Structure 1
Amino acid sequence: MEPQQNWAPGTFALLGGGRTRDDVSLEATVRRELAEEVPGLTVEGLAPYAVEEATSVDGLAVPVQVFEACWRGDPEAVDLQEGVLLRWFTPYMLERLNLSPGLGDLIHQHAADHPPVGSPPAPARLLLDEAPEGTELHIVSVHLYLEDNHGRILLGLRHPDSVYAGNTWHFLAGHCEREEAVSCLVREAREEAGLVIEPSDVELVHLVHLVDSPSARPRIGLVFRARAWSGTPTVLEPDRCVEWRFWNPKDLPAAVVPYTRQAIDAVLAGGLYSQTGWDRR
C-alpha cells in the first residue's frame, strides 16, 4: 500500500487509478497504473476480486473494481513514482494506519477469503506477524488498590464456582481489551462495583510479573491506586464476586490470592515491582 499524495493526503491506499479512453479493459487500466506508479513491478494472477463504492468530489457514488494479484518483491527496491511510501502490512497492523475509507474492511475480508494454506490460527499469526521471533505474548491485567479513610484496602470475595481463585479475596481486577490500561481500570471499577473514578485520579503503584504454571501464558499485572472516587462498592457481577469489603492491610483474611497479598505488601513497602511463579517453569 502507499500513502495518497493528492486525494486524501496522508492516507494509505491500494495502488491504482482511473480508466482512460485508451484502456481496452479494466485489467489494462490496472497494468498501466502499476507501470506508471511503480515501474518494474510485475504481478502474477491478476483477477477481479470485488466491486467497491467510492464517493467522487462532486458527491456521486462511483463503482471501483478491485483486483487481486501476487507480488513478492521488496517495496524498498522499486522506483516509486507516485505517492511517498510503499510498504507491506499484515491485516493485524491495519488499525495503526490511516487508511482510505473502507479499505480496512476490504483487506480483512480478502484475508478471510484467502487464508494461507496450513496457516496457524489468528492468535498465532498475530504473534508471527507482529512480534520478534521467540517473543512470548503476555496477558495484561489491571488491579484497583483502593483505600478508605481508615487506610483499609478494598477486596472482593470471588464466587465459589469461579474458574480462577474461587472463594478467595482479590483486588477488583480485569483484563485489558483493546484499550489503554487506565481506561480499563475505570471501566472495570464501574462495571464490577459501581465506582466512578476519574483517570486523572489514578496512579500506577506496582507491577507484578507472574506465571501460574509452565504451560500458562505469562501475565503482567498493573496495580493502580485511585486517589479519589465516588460511589459505594456494590456487587454488580454476582457470578464473579459475592462481596466487597475493606480490610486492614496488616490483617488480611487467610484466603487471599497470593500475588494480591504480595502486591499489597510491596505497595506498603514502596516497592514498584515483584514477580512470582517463574521458579516453577
Structure 2
Amino acid sequence: MQERYTTVVDVYALLQRDDGSILLLERANTGYADGQLCPPSGHLEAGESVIDAAIREAKEEVGVIIRSNDLTCAHVVHYRSPEGQGRIGIFFRTRQWLGEPTNCEPDKCAGLLWANPDNLPDNTVPYSAAAIAQIQAGAQFSVDGWT
C-alpha cells in the first residue's frame, strides 16, 4: 500500500494597487530565500482555512486588514523545490484592504516594494515569480518543478 501524500500549503496575499503593481517583501533572517522578494505569505496552520491564513499573513507581515469576500483565488501551483520537497501554493489577490502596508516584521523583512507583475525584480523568489507569471498569463493552475 502506498503512503498517503502530505505537503506544506503556502498561502499568498497579492495586494494589488489600481496601477496594477503588487506588494513584495524582501525576506531577511529567515533562513529561506533571504534577500529575495515575495508577496506576503506563510504556511497554512492547523485548524485554519486558506482564506483565514491569507488574511492572517497580510495582517502579521504588513499590518493590513483584508475582508474574506475581498479575496479572490488567483492561482494554485503544485510546486517541487530543487531539493525535492512538494508543496501547494495558493495565491489570493485583493484590490481592497484597510490600512497602509508597513513592515510589521523588521526582524524578518528588510523592506517593502511595489512592483510591476509583468516585470518583476530579478531577485524575486523563483517559485513566486513563476506563479505570478502564470497569473499574468491568465492561468488558474500550474505545476512547477516536477519535470
Superposition TM-score tier, normalisation by shorter sequence: over 0.9
Larger-Rg structure: 1
Measured after TM superposition, the shift of residue 274 of structure 1 is 1.3
Where 2:106 maps in the other structure, the secondary structure is coil
User: What whole-Å deviation, never above 9, does each CA across 1:155-205 have from its counterpart, x for those lacking one?
Assistant: 11111x321101001111010102000001111111111011000111101
Match 2:66 to one of 185, 197, 202: 197
Q: How does 1:135-174 map to 2 (within 5 A)?
A: 135-159=4-28, 161-174=29-42
Tell me the residue number matched to 2:120. 252
Aligned length: 146
Amino acid at match of 2:3: G
Tell me the residue number matched to 1:239. 107
**Are residues 1:272 and 2:140 paired?**
yes
User: What whole-Å deviation, never above 9, does each CA across 1:93-116 have from its counterpart, x for those lacking one?
Assistant: xxxxxxxxxxxxxxxxxxxxxxxx
Tell me the residue number matched to 1:182. 51
Match 1:226 to one of 94, 107, 115: 94
Amino acid at match of 2:81: D
Moved over 2 A (4+): 213-216
Cα distance, 1:246–1:271 mapped onto 2, change above 3 Å: same
Measured after TM superposition, the shift of residue 264 of structure 1 is 1.2
Which is helix-richer, 1 or 2?
A: 1
Where 2:61 maps in the other structure, the secondary structure is helix
User: What whole-Å deviation, never above 9, does each CA across 1:41-78 have from its counterpart, x for those lacking one?
Assistant: xxxxxxxxxxxxxxxxxxxxxxxxxxxxxxxxxxxxxx
Cα RMSD (Å): 1.4
Measured after TM superposition, the shift of residue 133 of structure 1 is 3.6
* Aligned equivalents of 1:192, 1:144: Cα separation in 2: 10
**Structure 1 gap segments, 5+ residues each:** 1-131
Amino acid at match of 2:142: S
Q: TM-score, normalised by structure 1?
A: 0.50
Where 1:255 maps in the other structure, the secondary structure is coil
Measured after TM superposition, the shift of residue 251 of structure 1 is 2.4
Where 1:163 maps in the other structure, the secondary structure is coil
Amino acid at match of 2:143: Q
Q: TM-score, normalised by structure 2?
A: 0.93
Percent identity over the alignment is 36
* Aligned equivalents of 2:121, 2:27: Cα separation in 1: 13
